[in-house]
Amino acid sequence: GIQVEQSPPDLILQEGANSTLRCNFSDSVNNLQWFHQNPWGQLINLFYIPSGTKQNGRLSATTVATERYSLLYISSSQTTDSGVYFCAAAGGTSYGKLTFGQGTILTVHP
Amino acid sequence: GAGVSQSPSNKVTEKGKDVELRCDPISGHTALYWYRQSLGQGLEFLIYFQGNSAPDKSGLPSDRFSAERTGGSVSTLTIQRTQQEDSAVYLCASSLADRGAGYGYTFGSGTRLTVV
């Protein structure tokens, strides 16, 4: 199955800083999603982005499917952005069988 | 409902007992997924249902695990003869479809299962 690797594993920022999180995947995908898990454990979908670029407020994401990576950009970070960011991918006929990366733990200090 | 609802939110059970975990997806969502999250294994796929198609059960870790989805809506995950390694947070998600636009998952808050 697909392997998903995320980097960096940990990231510490001061409020207002920008950051880029990376997700590499081992095979072609037809389903790629980014999630944020808040400190209370709730997983929130940020983007469904198997290819192309999307933006939502201070967050944006780009997936370059031919090079098998996706990037999540966080601008002007806030303390509420803290938590774990997961990338998850699926390919072939297993559209619904997302494989999750190990996550990037983001801490934003005031 | 407005979101994916899971019950119970916490469950403590004795080793060897059976447990049932319930998931109510968002109304109109045809696809439903079960994952589990534990410290050592991260987020693992268990099973998914899409409409009337046969479920993809390829992630179930053993034959002690089973799931059903009745009427294309509510789903129940059953673990028989629970073991300590079954302790984890069991997460349910739903989506409008399993492909194409609108495919983003909405997760519930999970059921924290502790086997003692």
Give A-chain residues touching B48 at CB under 8 angstroms. Answer: 96-97
> Rg for chain A (alpha carbons), in Å?
13
CA-closest candidate to residue B82, choices B26, B12, B1, B27: B12
Nearest-CA distance A87 → chain B (Å): 11
Residue A7: band (very low, low, confident or very high) from pLDDT cuts 50, 70, 90: very high
Query: For A79, phi and psi rounded to 5 degrees?
Result: -60, -30
Residue B72: band (very low, low, confident or very high) from pLDDT cuts 50, 70, 90: confident
Question: Do B67 and B46 form a contact (C-beta atoms < 8 A)?
Answer: yes
Six token digits for residue A17: 């800083």
For an interface test with A, which of B107, B111, B112, B113 has the most A Cβ atoms less than 10 Å from its Cβ? Answer: B107
Give B-chain residues touching A99 at CB under 8 angstroms. Answer: 45
Contact A33 B105 (CB under 8 A): yes
B112 Cβ contact list (under 8 Å, min separation 6)? B9, B10, B11, B89
Q: What is the pLDDT of residues A45-89, one digit of tens each?
A: 999 999 999 999 999 999 999 999 999 999 999 999 999 999 999
For residue A100, give the nearest of B42, B58, B103 by CB distance: B42
Contact A96 B50 (CB under 8 A): yes
CA dihedral B114, B30, B98, A50 (to 10 degrees): -90
Average pLDDT score, chain B:
93
Question: Do A25 and A68 form a contact (C-beta atoms < 8 A)?
Answer: yes
For residue B56, give the nearest of A48, A94, A102 by CB distance: A94
**Spatial distance between the Cα atoms of B29 and B48, rounded to a whole number of angstroms:** 13
For residue B33, give the nearest of A42, A96, A99 by CB distance: A96
Task: Determine contact: A54 vs chain B, CB below 8 A.
Answer: no
Contact B48 A97 (CB under 8 A): yes
Task: Determine contact: A94 vs chain B, CB below 8 A.
Answer: yes
Tell me, what's the pLDDT at B98? 66
Query: For B43, phi and psi rounded to 5 degrees?
Result: -95, 120
Average pLDDT score, chain A:
96
Nearest-CA distance A12 → chain B (Å): 21
Nearest-CA distance B116 → chain A (Å): 22
Q: What is the pLDDT of residues A14-40, one digit of tens each?
A: 999 999 999 999 999 999 999 999 999
Report the residue of chain B nearest A87, measured CA to CA: B43
Instruction: Give the helix ranges, DSSP H, for chain B.
Output: none
Q: Give the SS3 label for residue A57.
A: coil
